[in-house]
Amino acid sequence: MTVLEARNVSKRFGGIAAVDGMSFSVAAGEILGLIGPNGAGKTTMFDLLAGSVGVSAGEIRLMGQDVTTLPAHRRLAGGMGRTFQIPRPFPELSLIDNMLLARQDQTGERLWANFTAPRRIAAEERAARDKALALLDLVALRRLADDPARVLSGGQRKLLELARVMMADPKVVLLDEPAAGVNPSLLEVLIDRIREINASGVTFVLIEHNIDMVSRLCHRVLVMASGALLCEGTPDVVARDPRVIEAYLGGTPA
Amino acid sequence: MIDLLGYAAFFTSSALIFALITLGLNLQWGQTGLFNVGIAGFVAIGAYTSAILTTPEAADRIGGFDWPILAGWLAAALVTAAAAAFTGFATLRLKSDYLAITTFGVAVVVQLVALNAQGLTGGPFGVAFIPRPFASLQDQPALFNFINLGVIAAVTVAVYLALEHLSRSPWGRVLKALREDERAAISLGKSARSYRIQAFAAGGAVMGLAGAVQAHFIGFIAPNGYLPTLTFQVWAMLMVGGSGSNKGAILGSIVVWAIWVGAGAFSAAVVPGDWQARAASLQIVAIGVMLCLILLWRPQGFFGKRRG
Ligand SMILES: Nc1ncnc2c1ncn2[C@@H]1O[C@H](COP(=O)(O)OP(=O)(O)O)[C@@H](O)[C@H]1O
Ligand SMILES: [Mg+2]
């Protein structure tokens, strides 16, 4: 079954096509890698999938629905979550508040309900809090739960973002360079967690420069260069493809 | 002695009505970053709504409808919230830049309507005979002053507690998140525009309620009670008290109102009669000096958090 699909998607900034006619589909349960040299258009592709940037042409389908014009804030409830290349925690909010914000369809986020349904809100908050603490535990951040997110290191921010998006019970998660800036021991935590979450049925699309991580995690890899799909295959086949090697060596300057 | 206490009650009542308006602005600006330069317009909408609904029938204009005072206040909050929501809905597409200019326009339009729609608003003469709460006690001025203070203080405390409750609620948490990182909040399913409109409308409701309370406290209203000076005063109150803090909004209102009243009394005592009209601007100067001092000495205001 296909959970996410791009059909001939393009994005032009001024005269430059950052993404140029990309088509691919993501099968339920897989971990799909998206690699390519700097400036290839990978992050822009994520922005298009997540709706934070509108497409110039093409169509995006999520769980079989056309979501091309669905606003970005509706896509998480639709089953797709994302993290950012440069992590974006809410720095002055505690880790636990960061986590609680990702829960979908919370009664307490409706203004008036705070005066009419305080018990229901308290119960939902308690349940969400338990889930948040369990997830923070999973990424080794539980002891910092009440600290503001600004105290976190770059690698910890990446882990927080992963845990945070999981609060929404997404079906598919887009991870933009999750290993960048993560130290080797945290990296092992990260890889294990992604594997576990994937084993529980969550699909991942993963932008990553760390080839070791890609070959350990990904079932299949897409290679992008100059906004277009260069080739696809299993990690070791792709790594040996001369076109890929050339794109990395001779392509766009980093 | 009774006189002095009576005056203290009157002063505090006036200051607390400003505190209500400032609490509304704190929700809009302090907690959501929405720039409202048409405060006077929203206060006027609340004042006129309640006045028209609660006054006894008048021959020369539509209404009054003789509603109970509380019903008038509730309607004032709702109508002003609707006006604010509409303003927000029309302008808050992605960025909040257009809002400021539009709110200024709202204030001008409201002022013009109040002045010219004589059949509804009484035109330049305004609306009189607005019922006062506990009017039966009016022949005991001291007691009446204190009852008025009690009513206004009760409304202020209720609004303060409601706003504190909201700012600690999951709803308030979304506002904080949107202020800290809008893109991240959107990626987590929060609609920036919807929350901005909600906060603007809720702040508007508080301003409208304040306008209504003030109208019933004074007993009559006229268009010149809602000039841009009012907007300026409320902004000064929030800046002095500390943007973002509900406590600050209340304290700032009392301090700035004291300076305003003090400067007025001073110029009345010192400035010769034929210069009095011009001396009124001394009050604005006094507030301006106060603002400069605060900005130099404590830019975040009394209770504001320094944002880095
Ligand atoms: N908002 C934007 N405006 C203009 N150009 C952009 C914008 N975002 C990305 N680009 C350009 O699009 C190209 C692809 O960028 P990006 O998607 O970040 O690549 P990658 O993530 O593969 O390194 C780059 O040339 C970049 O400069
Ligand atoms: Mg990138």
- Ligand 1 centroid to residue A227 C-alpha, Å: 9
| pLDDT, greater one: B298 or A144 | A144
Q: Is the pLDDT of residue A253 over 50?
A: no
- The DSSP bridge partners found for residue A229 are A224
Both A170 and A237 in a single domain? Answer: yes
Give a yes or no: residue B263 inside a domain.
Answer: no
Both A166 and A62 in a single domain? Answer: yes
CA-closest residue to ligand 1 atom 14: A41
Q: Which residues contact B31 (CB under 8 A, 6 or more apart)?
A: B167, B172, B175, B176, B179, B199, B244
The residue of chain A with its CA nearest to that of B197 is A111
**What is d(CA A112, CA B268) in angstroms, rounded to the nearest whole number?**
47
Q: Is the pLDDT of residue A251 over 80?
A: no
CB < 8 Å from B in window 175-234 of A: none
| A100 in contact with B, Cβ within 8 Å | yes
Distance from the Cα of B113 to chain A's closest Cα (Å) equals 31
**What is d(CA A132, CA B114) in angstroms, rounded to the nearest whole number?**
53
**What is d(CA B240, CA B112) in angstroms, rounded to the nearest whole number?**
31
Q: What is the pLDDT averaged over residues A168-191?
A: 92
CATH number at residue A187: 3.40.50.300
Residue A109 to residue B174, Cβ atoms within 8 A = yes
Both A82 and A162 in a single domain? Answer: yes
Give a yes or no: residue B74 inside a domain.
Answer: yes
Residue A104 phi/psi, 5° resolution? -95, 155
Percent share of chain B, pLDDT over 90: 73
Give a yes or no: residue A183 inside a domain.
Answer: yes
pLDDT band at A126 (very low <50, low <70, confident <90, very high): very high
Write down the ipTM of this complex. 0.94
Residue B189 to residue A115, Cβ atoms within 8 A = no
Q: Is the pLDDT of residue A51 over 90?
A: yes
Give a yes or no: residue A38 inside a domain.
Answer: yes
Closest approach atom of ligand 1 to CA A42: 22
Q: Kindly report the pTM of this predicted structure.
A: 0.94
Q: What is the pLDDT averaged over residues B262-270?
A: 88
Distance from the Cα of A240 to chain B's closest Cα (Å) equals 36
Both A233 and A208 in a single domain? Answer: yes
Mutation test of ligand 1: which of A9, A11, A43 has the most ligand atoms closer than 8 Å to its C-beta? Answer: A43
Both A130 and A186 in a single domain? Answer: no
Both A129 and A56 in a single domain? Answer: no
Side by side, which strands form the sheet with A2-13?
A16-27, A2-13, A57-62, A65-66
Interface of chain B toward chain A, CB-CB under 8 angstroms: 162, 165-166, 169-171, 173-174, 176-177, 180-181, 183-192, 198, 202
Shortest CB distance from B187 goes to which of A52, A97, A109? A52
Distance from the Cα of B304 to chain A's closest Cα (Å) equals 15
What residues flank ligand 1, with Cβ below 6 Å? Answer: A 13, 18, 36, 38-44
Both A68 and A107 in a single domain? Answer: no
Q: What is the pLDDT averaged over residues A24-39?
A: 96
Q: Name the domain count of chain A.
A: 2
Q: Is the pLDDT of residue B294 over 90?
A: no
Q: What is the pLDDT averaged over residues A85-101?
A: 97
Degrees (nearest 5) of the Cα angle B64, B66, B70? Answer: 115
Q: Is the pLDDT of residue A39 over 90?
A: yes
CA proximity to A24, closest of A50, A67, A61: A61
| pLDDT, greater one: B231 or B284 | B231
Q: What is the pLDDT averaged over residues B244-271?
A: 93
pLDDT band at A83 (very low <50, low <70, confident <90, very high): very high
* pLDDT given at position A246: 85
Both A85 and A171 in a single domain? Answer: yes
Least confident of A7-21, B1-15, B79-93, B142-156: B1-15
Closest approach atom of ligand 1 to CA A40: 22
Cα distances (angstroms) measured from residue B190 to each of A71, A161, B260? 10, 16, 42
* pLDDT given at position B241: 96
Q: Is the pLDDT of residue A243 over 70?
A: yes
Domain assignment of residue A146, given as a range: 91-151
Contacts of A104 in chain B (CB under 8 A): 189
* pLDDT given at position A249: 74
Q: Name the domain count of chain B.
A: 1
Give a yes or no: residue B197 inside a domain.
Answer: yes
Both A161 and A140 in a single domain? Answer: no
Both A170 and A146 in a single domain? Answer: no
The residue of chain A with its CA nearest to that of B202 is A111
| A122 in contact with B, Cβ within 8 Å | no
Average per-residue pLDDT in chain B?
A: 92
Give a yes or no: residue A254 inside a domain.
Answer: no
Test mutation, A90, A165, A174, chain B, max B CBs within 10 A: A90
Both A12 and A53 in a single domain? Answer: yes
**What is d(CA B276, CA B264) in angstroms, rounded to the nearest whole number?**
10
Residue B180 to residue A168, Cβ atoms within 8 A = no
Query: Over chain A, what HEC string results?
Result: CEEEEEEEEEEEECCEEEEEEEEEEEECCCEEEEECCCCCCHHHHHHHHHCCCCCCEEEEEECCEECCCCCHHHCCCCCEEECCCCCCCCCCCEHHHHHHCCCCCCHHHCCCHHHHCHHHHHHHHHHHHHHHHHHHHHCCCHHHCCCEHHHCCHHHHHHHHHHHHHCCCCCEEEEECCCCCCCHHHHHHHHHHHHHHHHCCCEEEEECCCHHHHHHHCCEEEEEECCEEEEEECHHHHHHCHHHHHHHHHCCCC
CA-closest residue to ligand 1 atom 10: A18
Tell me how far the alpha carbon of residue B65 is from its chain's centroid.
25
Q: What is the pLDDT averaged over residues B235-247?
A: 96
Cα distances (angstroms) measured from residue B182 to each of A75, B15, B177? 15, 35, 7
Side by side, which strands form the sheet with A80-82?
A80-82, A172-176, A203-207, A31-35, A220-225, A228-233
Both A15 and A67 in a single domain? Answer: yes
Domain assignment of residue B137, given as a range: 2-226
Least confident of A88-92, B78-82, B212-216, B290-294: B290-294
Q: Is the pLDDT of residue A160 over 80?
A: yes
